[in-house]
Amino acid sequence: MSAESSLSRRHFLRLSIIAGGGLLVACGGSSSKPSNNLSPSEPEDNGPIVEQQFGDFLKIGSDNSLTVFVGATEIGQGILTGIAMAVAEELDADWSKVKAVHSPVAIEFNNPYFGSAMQSTVASASMRGYYKPQRQIGARIRQLMINTAAARWQVDAARLQTEAGYVIDPVTNRSISYGELSADAQESDIPATAELKSPEQYKIIGTSQQRLDAASKVDGSLIYGIDVDIPDMLTAVIARPPRFSGQPLIVDSNAALAVPGVLEVHQLAIGVAVVAEDFWSAEKGRKALEVTWNELLASRTDSELQRSQYELQLNLPGVPIRVDGAVVPAQLLAAETVQADYYFPFQAHAAMEPLNVVIDYDGSRAEIWTGTQSPTLDKLFASLILGLPPTQINFHIMPCGGGFGRRGNWLGDFVRDACQVAAAVRKPVKVMWSREDDMKGGFYRPAAAVRMSASLNTQGEISAWTHRSVTQDMTAFLYGEKLFDEVVELNGGTLPALDKVTDFDSNFVYDVSNVLMDFHLVANLQMPALWMRSVNKYTDIFAQETFLDVIASRSGEDPYQFRRNRLSEAPRHLAVLNAAATAANWGQARSGATMGIALMGHWNSFIAQVVEMSISADKEITIHKITSAIDCGTAVNPDLVIAQVESAIVFALSSIFYGEITLDDGVVQQSNYDDYRVLRMFESPEMETILINSTEDPGGVGEIGVPCVGPALANAIYAATGATIRELPLRNLGYSMAEQHPEAGGQS
């Protein structure tokens, strides 16, 4: 790992070329805008600021500013801020002068969580992967600053201290800023190791800080991929087949080319690209296009048919993911076995920023700008399609207007499509997806069927627990995709066995000796599916946690106590369960209301959520409050952890009430936010989030707030009405959402 090795000055210079860094000179200057800018202050206009780069990951300016290069993608989760905090903590930087930017796409920035094989912002893995190595970077540069000051002052380095961007000599009371030391510091090697702080020494980690990108996200100045504008740039849209894997057969482009502003039409394998001076002309050109599609090999996936197939498959044993004890003998000896089947449809991520890629390709080199969670593989696919070595591709990771997994496609679908257009156009081009393109474009959360069973012995205790899922698996899809094989081979690797790379265990932790989890990992190459925020936990935790309440009710046990009494091996689960129940005043729901609870641990984090709600006779639901207790180990920026839980709750409620993509004989039926509803302000309930303090390593927080909301709500409905919810979205079962803040007036 390059981050761990000693970086000589020569090494540093070589790497800074990759990083596009080195000695950088920026001019100071103050903005003429009215001052509402609360971000790190702009430098005073007192001459040029000289920035020195140290290693791959940071630059220090002569104004004592710190710029941190972050390998993970900012998709709203706040990772630019979080990783900068980790670096600044160990460096003892002045937090008010810290900036964070996306790194280049280069191996130095690969996420250690994925074996340092790639930059990929998925699996709630960014803080988990980068936390320690980035702190080490900060600590080593801090030691470099101390060594440099010690040499300048001719004193023993051991007596020097650091604080907020300064090296301090407590004996002589002298101090000097990192900025002033940075030029001299370039002359020395970066120390190979440095001691990390212990948690009680933290001044930045564990404090709630404003996001570094907050200012640029409230004044419209942040440049997303869709905002990239380069000289002579054209805009293209792609007419796609009505069914996945269809291809254009006959294209009549006369009417399209007659639209003012439309310049070119290209027939491609994936569809027909209409290239114009601007988006509006391109859209009009596309509407005027006449295409006959070859659909001989096109997808005929049909939602209803698929559901019946999946439900049949539930009867067959799948690939075992977890086998504890001996389930079959326990089932044979059981007094009773209870079973329930569940079904969940396809869902679209529906991020606010539709997909888009800007490519400047002239046949010998390319520059690419796109908001992506998977830049390493995107760049590799671009090099394969454009026929360029990766060194001839300058790839810019742009901030994303939402990701939720859609921008983290290891198959690089949108970059591949855009590269096909660019290869035909050979001029700077922005390839745009309309909302409808994005919604109909596939790579959905896959549909899933789940079967739960519990066997009860004569004492009524659970003696065996089984959990079987049928779902289209991204991993299985990757295995079927020839291009992915090529990419893996290009990297000198081979694909590991399928069941070794799945992460489908729901982490069932209750005290049951005999547990069997198995999966049917369906690969449907014609029906593109992908991970979506919390992946299979959304469906599998829903089934697990609602089924648990059904079992608890058979013995008349309280759902909270039922869980609490079966967590002897899971202290962190137990702690969040107790914390959520206490904060929600479990057992004391307001008049006419009921509560439901659900619990899970994954991504090295743990959460319990309680939903308190009322339901009317016509199934209209008012959620009074959602209480969450989360243990994510060290919460680097507690306010942003809470923000992620809030975000996840709203995201989950959209899925639970509305989230459904349907296919009729291969044709996607939804197109925009009118027929694919997501939660709106009036449906957003009260929420309270409790953070359990911990000094464990940070766990993931981007996804863990999603899966328990559904079962907690379903359990509250079960408590109120006795109705068991075995499929989602709730809208299909006649449930609706009331206005969540009906009282006129009042503080929320």
Q: Residue 748 Cβ, how far from other proteins at the closest point, in Å?
A: 5
Q: Residue 217 Cβ, how far from other proteins at the closest point, in Å?
A: 3
Q: CB of 626 within 8 A of CB of 632?
A: no
Q: Give the Cα separation of 239 and 258 in Å (integer).
A: 17
Q: Would you say 280 or 323 has its CB closer to other proteins?
A: 280
Residue type, 490: L
Q: Residue 37 Cβ, how far from other proteins at the closest point, in Å?
A: 9
Long-range pairs of 383-390 with CB within 8 A, sequence gap ≥ 24: 384/483, 384/486, 384/487, 384/490, 385/416, 385/419, 385/420, 385/423, 386/361, 386/419, 386/422, 386/423, 388/364
- 666 three-class SS: coil
* CB-count burial class (<10 Å; 0-12, 13-18, 19+) for 327: buried
Q: Would you say 61 or 78 has its CB closer to other proteins?
A: 78
Q: Chain centroid to CA 301: how far?
A: 27
Q: Residue 351 Cβ, how far from other proteins at the closest point, in Å?
A: 6
Q: Residue 714 Cβ, how far from other proteins at the closest point, in Å?
A: 20
* CB-count burial class (<10 Å; 0-12, 13-18, 19+) for 689: buried
Q: CB of 391 within 8 A of CB of 64?
A: no
Q: Would you say 144 or 653 has its CB closer to other proteins?
A: 653
Q: Would you say 406 or 537 has its CB closer to other proteins?
A: 406
Looking from the CA of 629 toward its CB, the CA atoms found within 13 Å total: 22
Q: Would you say 141 or 650 has its CB closer to other proteins?
A: 650
Q: Residue 582 Cβ, how far from other proteins at the closest point, in Å?
A: 21
Q: Would you say 74 or 413 has its CB closer to other proteins?
A: 74
Q: Would you say 307 or 741 has its CB closer to other proteins?
A: 741
Q: Residue 609 Cβ, how far from other proteins at the closest point, in Å?
A: 14
Q: Would you say 467 or 537 has its CB closer to other proteins?
A: 537
| Token pair listed for 377 | 């593989």
Q: Residue 106 Cβ, how far from other proteins at the closest point, in Å?
A: 24
Q: Residue 704 Cβ, how far from other proteins at the closest point, in Å?
A: 14
Q: Residue 427 Cβ, how far from other proteins at the closest point, in Å?
A: 17
Q: Residue 92 Cβ, how far from other proteins at the closest point, in Å?
A: 24
Q: Would you say 328 or 352 has its CB closer to other proteins?
A: 352
Q: Would you say 358 or 470 has its CB closer to other proteins?
A: 358
Q: Among all chains, which residue has been given the structure tokens 């009729």? A: 664
Q: Give the Cα separation of 10 and 190 in Å (integer).
A: 11
Q: CB of 268 within 8 A of CB of 494?
A: no
Instruction: Render 356-417 in DSSP notation, one character per residue.
Output: EEEEEE-SS-EEEEE--S-HHHHHHHHHHHHT--GGGEEEEEPP-S--TTTT--TT-HHHHH
Q: Would you say 590 or 680 has its CB closer to other proteins?
A: 680
Q: CB of 196 within 8 A of CB of 90?
A: yes
| Strand extents, DSSP E, 457-501 | 462-472
Q: 284-304 b/e with 16+ CB inside 10 Å = b?
A: bbbebbebebebeebbbbbbe
Q: Residue 198 Cβ, how far from other proteins at the closest point, in Å?
A: 28
How far, CA to CA in Å, does 105 sit from each of 376, 393, 402?
6, 10, 20
Q: CB of 237 within 8 A of CB of 283?
A: yes
DSSP secondary structure code for residue 746 in this structure: -
Q: Would you say 327 or 652 has its CB closer to other proteins?
A: 652
Q: Give the Cα separation of 699 and 127 in Å (integer).
A: 7
Q: Among all chains, which residue has been given the structure tokens 């044979």? A: 332
Q: CB of 162 within 8 A of CB of 142?
A: yes
Q: Give the Cα separation of 144 and 91 in Å (integer).
A: 10
Q: Would you say 33 or 500 has its CB closer to other proteins?
A: 33
Q: Residue 404 Cβ, how far from other proteins at the closest point, in Å?
A: 7
DSSP secondary structure code for residue 491 in this structure: T
Q: Residue 743 Cβ, how far from other proteins at the closest point, in Å?
A: 6
Q: Would you say 476 or 679 has its CB closer to other proteins?
A: 679
Looking from the CA of 485 toward its CB, the CA atoms found within 13 Å total: 6
Q: Give the Cα separation of 285 and 478 in Å (integer).
A: 35
Q: Residue 33 Cβ, how far from other proteins at the closest point, in Å?
A: 6
Ramachandran bin of 405, using left for φ above 0, alpha for ψ from -120 to 50, beta for the remaining angles: left
Q: Would you say 178 or 433 has its CB closer to other proteins?
A: 433
